[in-house]
């Protein structure tokens, strides 16, 4: 999986913002789906 070809930030605030962006893109899901726990 390639996220982006741009270089990774080195500033702690920029790293935090990038992580939050990735979290919002990848960790949140709406709709009908089944969790690995079966719920």
pLDDT, residue 3, reads 57
**Measured distance CA(7)–CA(11) in Å, rounded:** 12
The phi-psi region of residue 31 (left if phi > 0; otherwise alpha if psi is between -120 and 50; otherwise beta) is left
Two tokens, residue 31: 């709709």
Residue range 18-26: average pLDDT? 90
Give the distance between the most distant pair of CA atoms in the chain.
Answer: 40
Residue 12: band (very low, low, confident or very high) from pLDDT cuts 50, 70, 90: very high
CA angle at residue 27 from 24 to 32, to 5 degrees?
115
Mark out the alpha helices in the chain (DSSP H runs). 12-26
């Amino acid at each position: 999986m390639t996220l982006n070809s741009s270089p990774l930030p080195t500033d702690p605030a920029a790293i935090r913002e990038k992580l939050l962006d990735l979290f919002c893109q990848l960790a949140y899901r709406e709709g009908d789906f089944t969790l690995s726990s079966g719920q």
